[in-house]
Structure 1
Amino acid sequence: MKIVLLCGGQGTRLREETEYKPKPMVDIGGKPIVLHIMKLFAHYGLREFILCLGYKGDIIKDFFLNYEAMTTDFTIKLGRKHELTYHGAHEEQEFSVTLADTGANSMTGGRVRRIRKYISDDLFMVTYGDGVSDVNIPELIQFHKSHGKLATVTAVRPQSKFGVLNVKGDGLVEQFSEKPSIEGWVNMGYFVFHKKIFDYLRGDETMLEREPLERLAAEGQLMAFKHHGFFFAMDTYREYQLLNDMWATGRAPWKVWS
């Protein structure tokens, strides 16, 4: 099964890091966040990736083009009979990464539409290049296969960014909850789609989260896989710092690989 990663946005709310690099290339623990996401899928045996590039996509291309040289020792023979030999092996052996230019200004649905030629199986997955999770991928895929609909979105309960107070009329605080989970479910990505989803994608301006998913829901073709574990989307510099703190202190729930 192919894993499609949306890596083309500008990440304007994380301008401290994205001024010179795309958001999927922002480092968490010394490795780009997109690599953390890929390693989750690889942990479950899924190693075929399609990266939808846009803003500063050349930086992502350079990263993967030079990955072998930057992660292993190598011997190079200079001259006309140029030879290059890599020594040892890195942890990302057998990753297959298709780097697809999907346009500088394409919306999420438009980017998925542009990589249609790389999808051969009936099912494929799509997620964002900035959200890490410990979601159980085999359970998610099995859930999708069990209901027979065209699309599955993984949903998580949102967490309030503020402490919540239960306050009486006289101002007495009866209960204080620091950043509790709030009611409802939100889209965290980690979609499973049947290839018929391409019939719902009209052009570069198509936003996946608007008409396509709204139409699928109206037609009874969208199911939600409820994830009760960890999910964290990196949108701001503070969230970037929090993820790096989790990694540095050994409290990174998304690191399910050894």
Structure 2
Amino acid sequence: MVNASFCIPKTESLRTALARLNQNEKKILFLTDEAGHLTAALTDGDVRRYLLSGGTLEDSAANAGNRHPIAARSREEALRLLARHGCVAVPVLDGDACITDIVLEGERQPEPLPALGVPVVIMAGGKGTRLEPYTKILPKPLIPVGDLPIMEHIMRQFRQYGCTEFHGIVNYKKQLIKAYFSENEEHFNTVWYDEGKPLGTGGGLSLLKGKLSGTFFLTNCDLLIFTDYEKLLRFHRESGSAVTMVCAEKRVTIPYGVVETGEGGVITAMREKPAFQFLTNTGLYLVEPEVLDDIGEDEVIGFPDIIERQRRKGRRVSAYTVGEEDWLDMGQLDELEKMRSRLYGKA
């Protein structure tokens, strides 16, 4: 049940919002639109900064609010965000970004996540050309998302599930990556494998032959998946798959009217801004060790081609589906800001 004392329409004046803040035990409000969607968060600090910049108390509260507040999709995630960021309150949103609950500082901590103890292999050797010019200076695994490099975010995510054995396949600016983690106070247990030459998104796995005896996670170094990893592992094992690919639902709308034509240029159909839904490969997998045996030494190959090789051999490969909002990918510059906003909620 949503505590109404924490919510206010975004159209209310700052004067009204300030009065509500003074009555609010946590000194924070969440602004909503007419449909109940979360649009911003507002603290007394936000109000002070806005007034100092020339605003007035008669202006809309929306003008002063933080338009990228920290929010969660479940109470469990909200509790973890409270602990991670020192927040006083975190709203829980449904699939339409409407507030369904507000979790407050001091509430019961979440139950510890199950310890899976599965090794994690991180493909961290690429040049990250889509993130240039940043990757001219830093390798992609060390590009910061908020306070931490993306690769550390990934490792912390797995460590919540008791996955403490990491294997990093590196190439481009590998010494910087190794140096960062060798001096990291978190002391991640990582074994490094150097590619002699770029081997694609799958070829570097040949370096791990004989190193892994059981199921392992394989992930690219530019993504985060928010899902129940225990359910994912159980699905993989119960399906008897050699590889399970984590896929995200993706809806794409063509921003134009689409025309279909027949012989002689005759228009046969028209659709205005049609929408299509796909399953997309996120870059996170569960893999059985025998898959490595089918990769040649120094073979340049992408992991999707390795999956296809398994299919041709008659081995089962499966897709595990997550929602589009559960997949954060920083492979392109515009996605980098979305990931930072989701993790930190800062303007």
TM-score (norm 2): 0.57
Within 5 Å, give how 1:123-202 maps onto structure 2: 123-160=215-252, 164=255, 182-202=276-296
Contact 2:208-2:292 at 8 Å conserved across structures: no
The structural deviation recorded for 1:189 is 2.1
State the partner residue of 2:330. Answer: 234
Select between 45-54 and 196-205 the one with higher mean Cα deviation. Answer: 196-205
Contact 1:151-1:221 at 8 Å conserved across structures: yes
The structural deviation recorded for 1:3 is 0.3
State the partner residue of 2:152. Answer: 35
Three-state SS of the structure 1 residue aligned to 2:166 is strand
Change (3 A) 1:137 1:103: farther
Distance in 2 (alpha carbons) for counterparts of 1:165 and 1:125: 40
Distance in 1 (alpha carbons) for counterparts of 2:336 and 2:240: 37
- Match of 1:157, as an amino acid? E
Aligned pair partner of 1:221 in 304, 308, 316: 316
Distance in 2 (alpha carbons) for counterparts of 1:227 and 1:246: 17
Aligned pair partner of 2:175 in 48, 58, 65: 58
The structural deviation recorded for 1:126 is 0.5
Change (3 A) 1:97 1:146: same
- Match of 2:156, as an amino acid? K
Q: Does 1:16 align with 2:109?
A: no
Distance in 2 (alpha carbons) for counterparts of 1:227 and 1:196: 26
Distance in 2 (alpha carbons) for counterparts of 1:107 and 1:233: 19
Distance in 2 (alpha carbons) for counterparts of 1:248 and 1:124: 29
Select between 110-119 and 126-135 the one with higher mean Cα deviation. Answer: 110-119
The structural deviation recorded for 1:41 is 0.8
Contact 1:152-1:191 at 8 Å conserved across structures: yes
- Match of 2:205, as an amino acid? V
- Match of 2:159, as an amino acid? A
Three-state SS of the structure 2 residue aligned to 1:46 is coil
Contact 1:127-1:189 at 8 Å conserved across structures: yes
Select between 182-191 and 7-16 the one with higher mean Cα deviation. Answer: 182-191
Contact 1:109-1:204 at 8 Å conserved across structures: no
Unaligned runs of 5+ in 2: 1-117, 261-269
Change (3 A) 1:159 1:17: farther
Three-state SS of the structure 1 residue aligned to 2:283 is coil
The structural deviation recorded for 1:202 is 1.7
Contact 2:216-2:286 at 8 Å conserved across structures: yes
Three-state SS of the structure 1 residue aligned to 2:137 is coil
Contact 2:246-2:320 at 8 Å conserved across structures: yes
Aligned pair partner of 2:204 in 105, 111, 114: 111
Distance in 2 (alpha carbons) for counterparts of 1:47 and 1:187: 25
Higher relative CO (Cα under 8 Å, sequence separation at least 6) belongs to: 1
The structural deviation recorded for 1:248 is 3.8
Select between 22-31 and 108-117 the one with higher mean Cα deviation. Answer: 108-117
- Match of 1:193, as an amino acid? V
What is the number of residues matched between the two proteins? 220
Three-state SS of the structure 1 residue aligned to 2:179 is helix
The structural deviation recorded for 1:209 is 3.0
The structural deviation recorded for 1:250 is 5.8
Distance in 2 (alpha carbons) for counterparts of 1:65 and 1:122: 26
Distance in 1 (alpha carbons) for counterparts of 2:343 and 2:214: 36
Change (3 A) 1:209 1:158: farther
Distance in 2 (alpha carbons) for counterparts of 1:107 and 1:150: 20
Q: Does 1:246 align with 2:342?
A: yes
State the partner residue of 2:191. Answer: 98
State the partner residue of 1:84. Answer: none
Distance in 1 (alpha carbons) for counterparts of 2:136 and 2:197: 15
Change (3 A) 1:176 1:147: same
TM-score (norm 1): 0.76
Three-state SS of the structure 1 residue aligned to 2:337 is helix
The structural deviation recorded for 1:225 is 1.0
Select between 149-158 and 205-214 the one with higher mean Cα deviation. Answer: 205-214
Three-state SS of the structure 2 residue aligned to 1:213 is helix
Distance in 1 (alpha carbons) for counterparts of 2:278 and 2:189: 37
The structural deviation recorded for 1:245 is 3.2
Contact 2:251-2:278 at 8 Å conserved across structures: no
The structural deviation recorded for 1:37 is 0.9
